[in-house]
Amino acid sequence: MKSRAAVAFGPGKPLEIVEIDVAEPKAKEVLVKILYTSVCHTDAFTLSGDDPEGVFPAVLGHEGAGVVVSVGDEVTSVKPGDHVIPLYTPECGECEFCLSGKTNLCSAVREAQGKGLMPDGTTRFSYNGDPIYHYMGTSTFSEYTVVNEINLVNIDKEAPLDKVALFGCGVTTGLGAVENTAKVEEGAVTAVFGLGAIGLAVIQGLKKAKAKRIIAVDMNPDKWELAKKMGATDFVNPSEHDRPIQEVLIEMTNGGVDYSFECIGNVEVMKAALEACHKGWGESIIIGVAGAGKEIHTRPFQLVTGRVWRGSAFGGVKGRTELPGMVEDFMNGEIDLDSFITHHLNFTDINEAFDLLHKGESIRTILTY
């Protein structure tokens, strides 16, 4: 079938809205009509050419929601008409990773997914007869997309898809990093570096966990208002200090924070976030995605003396098992999604959504097909 899509033809180039061909779903695959998508910084990261797994031309996009159109053979968990959220972290429930009880990283289709391919080594997208790559197992920047059944969660039909699309990445990642990865306890002293959707969702999670202090760190003071609304108690702008920001935080907290979260993707900030942690027990969670060739560094003594570095992907959340519950929490008013939605645009204005994100003017733009 034909589908409107925003195609990334090459690194650093604006997306082009074109009509692509989308093939029928094969066995264990599903054709989904995406109704809403938003842009996460990771899409911008891959489009920039910094992603070692970035392949072009591709249909990017991994934060969206839609309706099942048709299913391939052997699909049992969804049917046409079901409302779904595509998951870049799938859940097969059968692989060594899924069965370990230790991680949400499913290995069933990860290798092909990282190459922009379906598990049979081919793509379902083409343009003028040439293949177009998939992205993160989701490709929500096409009105019709084909995904593996295990990359989909079936959700409550009553849930507003233009809001719960945010569970596809940003909000789930931030909330999960607090609850599953850091396991923050009541009364904790915390710092959050980077106040985009991820950092703000971390703040919302910290408020829920009853953290005593939530220090929000960002170079852009315009982010403070929303951070405060979400529950931040202090704001620090590194550009207003002429010494390492970790020193400022250690002084502010009488020895360092119990937990810090890096939500930017900057390896120098990752070092600062780790070193801002309290000796003996402070834990720093890396959420931000850093570009090809970048490496983290600190004196090993920082770890010898009890600080811990952890990473978090999709907030440690097992999407098919846990997202229906998070959707219900939103419906019951326990999770705020509305505050993240700063802009609405038509899908064809997707490059404007990228510009707003780059300029720091948006948190999330909901794009309507």
Is there binding between residue 105 and ligand AHE (CB under 6 A)? Answer: yes
Q: Are the CB atoms for 322 and 182 separated by under 8 Å?
A: no
Q: Return the one option of ligand NAD, Zn ion, ligand AHE, none that residue 266 interacts with (CB less than 5 to 8 A, by type).
A: ligand NAD
Q: Which of 4, 95, 233, 298 is catalytic?
A: 95
Angle at 28 between CA 27 and CA 30, to 5 degrees: 100
Q: Which is nearer to ligand AHE, 237 or 266 (CB)?
A: 266
CA distance 97 to 99: 5
Q: How far is the CB of 281 from ligand AHE (least distance, A)?
A: 26
Q: How far is the CB of 234 from ligand AHE (least distance, A)?
A: 27
3-state secondary structure (DSSP) of residue 164: helix
Q: Which is nearer to Zn ion, 25 or 170 (CB)?
A: 170
CA distance 279 to 304: 10
Q: Return the one option of ligand AHE, Zn ion, ligand NAD, none that residue 51 interacts with (CB less than 5 to 8 A, by type).
A: ligand AHE
Q: Which of 40, 124, 173, 277 is catalytic?
A: 40
Which among 226, 228, 234, 233 has a CA at the least distance from the CA of 340?
226
Q: Which of 29, 37, 42, 145 is catalytic?
A: 42
CA distance 156 to 324: 7
Is there binding between residue 42 and ligand AHE (CB under 6 A)? Answer: yes
Which among 65, 8, 61 has a CA at the least distance from the CA of 39?
61
Which among 299, 312, 188, 174 has a CA at the least distance from the CA of 246?
299
Alpha-carbon torsion angle 324, 330, 336, 338, nearest 10 = 90
Q: Which of 29, 37, 46, 98 is catalytic?
A: 98
Q: Are the CB atoms for 347 and 37 separated by under 8 Å?
A: yes
Q: Return the one option of Zn ion, ligand NAD, ligand AHE, none that residue 331 interacts with (CB less than 5 to 8 A, by type).
A: none
- Could you confirm whether 92 is annotated as catalytic? yes
Strand partners, 33: 67, 144
Q: Which of 29, 37, 63, 173 is catalytic?
A: 63
Q: Return the one option of Zn ion, ligand NAD, ligand AHE, none that residue 218 interacts with (CB less than 5 to 8 A, by type).
A: ligand NAD
Q: Return the one option of ligand NAD, ligand AHE, Zn ion, none that residue 197 interacts with (CB less than 5 to 8 A, by type).
A: ligand NAD
By the criterion CB under 5 A, which residues form the site for Zn ion? 40, 42, 169
Is there binding between residue 111 and ligand AHE (CB under 6 A)? Answer: no
Q: Which is nearer to ligand AHE, 140 or 142 (CB)?
A: 140
Which among 23, 32, 17 has a CA at the least distance from the CA of 123?
23
CA distance 33 to 273: 40
Q: How far is the CB of 223 from ligand AHE (least distance, A)?
A: 18
- Could you confirm whether 42 is annotated as catalytic? yes
Is there binding between residue 95 and ligand AHE (CB under 6 A)? Answer: no
- Could you confirm whether 63 is annotated as catalytic? yes
- Could you confirm whether 263 is annotated as catalytic? no
Per-residue binding letters, 293-322, with ligand AHE (x by CB under 6 A): --------------------xx--------
Q: How far is the CB of 84 from ligand NAD (least distance, A)?
A: 19
Q: Residue 66 contacts by C-beta under 8 Å, 6 or more apart in sequence?
A: 32, 33, 34, 35, 36, 83, 84, 86, 140, 145, 161
Task: List active site positions.
Answer: 40-42, 62-63, 92, 95, 98, 106, 110, 169, 364
